[in-house]
Structure 1
Amino acid sequence: MSRRLGPRITRRRVRTLVHRLRREEDGQTLLLGVGLVCVVLALLFVAASATAIYLDLKTLTSLADSAAAAGADGVDGSPYYGGNGTDAAPGALTDAAVSESAAADVSAQPAAARLEGVTIVSARAADAQTAVVTLQARSRPPFLPWGIIPAEGFTITATGSARMTTTQ
């Protein structure tokens, strides 16, 4: 007789335990689903914000390259044409010429209007033939919590260089 009652009691206990576990887990999948959706949305927002910063950096790099090319192109032509008799070699870049040409190029670029606070950190002639321009701007990604992160955004910096060559 004990053999018969043993399996019945065990089965009944198993059924009771399974029934209790099912009742205790009601609503848990909804909570897990909501949590998963929140995590996925947070990851999407972080990825979109990182992409926005990356695109701002690429735009600033393009501006710096363009300004450096304009600075290398802004060679003073007077030594070529026998103008004022300066000590500079014909076709040599100067810091003032690079700075002036770079500032004019940055202000003429429509991409500079898309970025916030574009400034020229330095525009110089590294040697007589190379212009180096460093720009700085602010990047404000759209999906970051600006109450936690500083509201002024992130400072990004890009440097571009261009080399002038002359043919004889």
Structure 2
Amino acid sequence: MPGFGGSPRRVRALAHHLGREESGQTLLLGVGLICAVLALLFVAASASAVYLDLKTLTSLADSAAAAGADGVDEDPYYGGDGTDTAPAALTDAQVRTGAAADLSSQPAAVGPAGVMIVSARAADGQTAVVTLQARSRPPFLPWGIIPAEGFTITATGSARMTTTQ
């Protein structure tokens, strides 16, 4: 065979030798590809778990803020003079009490672990602002390398007290 620099027997021997050198390489490549795909799936599942924990904590913060805004004292509120302004204003203590009561009424299985109130305040006398903090510990992460206590997540919710006529 011209151009190959040798006889056909020599070309066949060279092709047979090259074929033996590559045996097992495809299996190694397949195992590596499977490991890379599994690692990406585990990272995506863990990121999704942190995202869902954050969304749950945001929902809890909104609920606590709504309960805090609902904590206005009813006697001065309903005893108003008929104007558009609220006859009573929210206080930080009312917001904190309402938020704590709302959080304690939530089922234990809801949300991430260690939910705590960072701040609960009445921003302008009519708006309750509640900030919650919790720990998110997603699955499938190497907890020997990453801190075992997980990640700290924070969410803030607000609710406004309004009057209607």
1:81 and 1:129 map into 2 onto residues whose CA distance is 15
RMSD: 2.1
Matched with 1:51 is 48
Encode CA deviations 1:76-115: one digit per residue, 9 max, x unaligned: 1232466xxxxxx623111110010000001111166542
Aligned length: 159
Counterpart of 1:143 (choices 140, 144, 149) is 140
Larger Rg: 1
Matched with 1:93 is 90
Encode CA deviations 1:51-85: one digit per residue, 9 max, x unaligned: 11111111100000000000111111232466xxx
Encode CA deviations 1:30-52: one digit per residue, 9 max, x unaligned: 11111111111111111111111
Counterpart of 1:107 (choices 104, 108, 111) is 104
Identity percentage over the alignment?
Answer: 81
> Amino acid of the residue matched to residue 37 of structure 1?
I
1:10 CA displacement: 4.8
Encode CA deviations 1:12-44: one digit per residue, 9 max, x unaligned: 443232222111000000111111111111111
1:7 CA displacement: 6.7
Matched with 2:27 is 30
Unaligned 5+ residue runs, structure 2? 80-85
Assess, with a 3 A threshold, how the Cα gap between structure 1 residues 97 and 135 changes in structure 2: closer, same or farther.
same
> Amino acid of the residue matched to residue 29 of structure 1?
T
Structure with the larger helix share: 1
Assess, with a 3 A threshold, how the Cα gap between structure 1 residues 115 and 7 changes in structure 2: closer, same or farther.
closer
Q: Is the 8 A contact 2:4 2:11 kept in 1?
A: no
> Amino acid of the residue matched to residue 57 of structure 1?
L
Unaligned 5+ residue runs, structure 1? 83-88
